[in-house]
């Protein structure tokens, strides 16, 4: 990786009790030649996550890839130690901008996806050299050229506010999770990922993908400095889900949407919160916040359609009952009516 001097890109990821994923993601990013800052926001994991990440940065903890097929993205290991600094939230948001390539921020609380990323973005935006911010799920690994491809995509279109990448499944890298993002139905509150499940060899037209994109996938979402300064940071009321759709609504008509078609990442999908699309693996916690955020988004952007969104959630709750997941049905119902989440 080149010198950090005048790095135009900041990559931000939120860690919550998933240090091994974060370490694997960081190692893959370090194989890129693109100058960038790496910012990890730990949402008070309380499980030693920060210490594990620091041990990796010092060269004391090797990466343990979960896929032999993708092990080449993190091997051989980059030279250690990796220059780093650890900050608390106040230092990150108000203190001097550190020169270190890797910045680890203890946010002090579980701020959710939006809150954790916002802390990192406040840090990044205080560095005048940062032109682009890439919000990347920590349960991903990237191809070496992906960071540079993100920068190139922005540089091709000065009006671009947000863009996504090619997202493949980590455990099935021959299949697409999606291209760039999803369509969105305001009647059902559901997103429909573009090209989901298709083989990676399937041809696609980048312009057509962009035209179909109502919102960029939050697992790999890049935003330009002018865009984030114009529309503001993420709405932290969501905690999880719909933050990226809300952002897309804020940017609509003010900035164009792009697509870094030659940037490829691999996503383990929902590892830390149980949000996999496979029902058996989706947690009640995930179901709750998905239902809750859908209603919050509807009240904010399409209040006339709230009855349809409620009906959609309740139908989903009934489906969970018939599938033997009463706990998830209760979570969906409570989220739909903004009641507190109840753990067993």
Determine if the pTM surpasses 0.85.
yes
Return the sign of the alpha-carbon dihedral for residues 277, 278, 279, 283: negative
pLDDT above 80 for 272: no
Return the sign of the alpha-carbon dihedral for residues 216, 262, 77, 74: positive
Domain ranges of the chain: 9-267, 279-336
Distance, CA of 134 to chain centre? 9
State the pLDDT at residue 340. 76
Does the 9-267 domain belong in CATH 3.90.550.60? Answer: yes
State the pLDDT at residue 282. 77
pLDDT above 90 for 339: no
What's the pLDDT tens digit per position in 125-171?
999 999 999 999 999 999 999 999 999 999 999 999 999 999 999 99
What's the pLDDT tens digit per position in 39-67?
999 999 999 999 999 999 999 999 999 99
pLDDT (mean) for 179-206: 96
State the pLDDT at residue 118. 98
State the pLDDT at residue 131. 99
């Amino acid at each position: 990786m080149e010198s950090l001097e005048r790095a135009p890109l900041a990559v931000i990821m939120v860690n919550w009790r998933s240090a091994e994923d974060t370490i694997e993601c960081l190692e893959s990013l370090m194989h890129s030649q693109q100058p960038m800052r790496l910012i990890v926001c730990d949402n008070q994991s309380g499980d030693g996550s920060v210490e594990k990440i620091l041990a990796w940065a010092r060269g004391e903890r090797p990466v343990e890839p979960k896929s032999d097929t993708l092990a080449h993205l993190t091997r051989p290991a980059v030279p250690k130690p990796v220059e780093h600094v650890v900050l608390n939230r106040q230092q990150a948001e108000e203190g001097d901008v550190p020169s270190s390539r890797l910045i680890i921020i203890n946010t002090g609380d579980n701020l959710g996806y939006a809150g954790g990323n916002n802390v990192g973005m406040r840090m990044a935006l205080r560095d005048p050299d940062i032109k682009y911010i890439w919000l990347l799920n920590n349960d991903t690994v990237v191809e070496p050229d992906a960071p540079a491809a993100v920068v190139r995509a922005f540089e091709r279109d000065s009006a671009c506010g947000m863009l996504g990448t090619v997202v493949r499944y980590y455990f099935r890298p021959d299949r697409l999770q999606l291209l760039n993002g999803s369509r969105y139905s305001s009647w059902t509150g559901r997103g429909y990922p573009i090209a989901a499940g298709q083989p990676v060899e399937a041809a696609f037209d980048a312009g057509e993908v962009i035209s179909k994109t109502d919102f960029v996938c939050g697992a790999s979402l890049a935003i330009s400095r002018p865009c984030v300064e114009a529309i503001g940071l993420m709405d932290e009321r969501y905690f999880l889900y719909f933050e990226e759709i809300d952002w897309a609504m804020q940017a609509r008509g003010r900035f164009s949407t792009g697509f870094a078609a030659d940037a490829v990442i691999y996503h383990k999908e929902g590892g830390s919160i149980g949000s996999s699309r496979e029902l058996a693996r989706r947690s009640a916690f995930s179901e709750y916040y998905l239902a809750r955020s859908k209603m919050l988004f509807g009240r904010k952007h399409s209040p006339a359609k709230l009855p349809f969104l409620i009906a959609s959630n309740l139908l989903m709750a009934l489906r969970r009952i018939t599938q033997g997941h009463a706990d998830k049905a209760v979570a969906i119902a409570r989220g739909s009516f903004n009641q507190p989440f109840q753990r067993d």
